[in-house]
Structure 1
Amino acid sequence: MTTSTIGRPHARQVRAQVAAHRYEVGQVVQIKSGLARTQTPATTYHVTATLPPRGNALQYRIRNDEERHERVVTQDDIEPAGDQQTPSTLMERTFGHG
């Protein structure tokens, strides 16, 4: 005796793929040119948090050391800063290295 599938017997199972965040907390990024009209292209930001996706776009919270607020941007709106270094910790940025 065979069992039958209720509903759609030949339906494909769709497996949702979760995209991975490209940038890590502490990493230095910059807003892609053309998106920040009031900012100079050399303005850099630190990623302060990874956020859940909004629709299909992964989001980040970023902050510039000279600003008092944080921004929320999508992964497509930012790129690694030109002088990309390894992400530093808050302790290293505050007290220096060694």
Structure 2
Amino acid sequence: MTTLDARRHSSPQRGSDASTHVFRIGESVHLKPSFQYASLSGVYRITATLPTADGQPQYRIRNEEERHERVAPQDSLERATASSTGGTRAMLIKRTFGRG
């Protein structure tokens, strides 16, 4: 087996599950705890799907409390539960209108 053959066998095939986006635009997610995202918490909203990089679908995400968007790979995201998104909405209403 040559080096080229080994690369073909180890890289994900086009159209495989590894390159499929599982989150949709507008969906709420959390960043999984990791060294890279240790200080980031809260609910993020998917604002765009991006091309695959290193075999991982990429997403543009945004937290309502931040002024910028972030790019995160699919394996660093998990779906937000209904209870976790409700707290963020209540906090946004309180901050906007002064009542909860």
Q: TM-score, normalised by structure 2?
A: 0.61
2:82 maps to what in 1?
Answer: 83
1:33 maps to what in 2?
Answer: 33
Report the CA distance between 1:74 and its aligned residue.
0.2
- The alignment partner of 1:76 has SS state of helix
For residues 38-53 of structure 1, the aligned pairs below 5 Å read 38-40=39-41, 43-53=42-52
Report the CA distance between 1:28 and its aligned residue.
0.2
Report the CA distance between 1:57 and its aligned residue.
0.9
Q: Does 1:66 align with 2:70?
A: no
In 2, the alpha carbon distance for the partners of 1:75 and 1:60 equals 7
Task: Read off the aligned partner of 2:49 and give its amino acid letter.
Answer: T
Structure 1: gaps of 5 or more residues:
1-14, 85-98
Report the CA distance between 1:50 and its aligned residue.
0.1
1:56 maps to what in 2?
Answer: 55
**Bigger helix share:** 2
Structure of greater relative contact order (alpha carbons < 8 Å, 6+ residues apart): 1
> Could you say what the CA RMSD is over the residues aligned between the two structures, in angstroms?
2.0
2:88 maps to what in 1?
Answer: none
| Runs of 4+ residues over 4 Å off in structure 1 | none
Report the CA distance between 1:69 and its aligned residue.
0.3
In 2, the alpha carbon distance for the partners of 1:57 and 1:16 equals 12
User: Identity rate of aligned residues, in percent?
Assistant: 40
Structure 2: gaps of 5 or more residues:
1-12, 84-100
Q: TM-score, normalised by structure 1?
A: 0.62
Report the CA distance between 1:16 and its aligned residue.
2.8
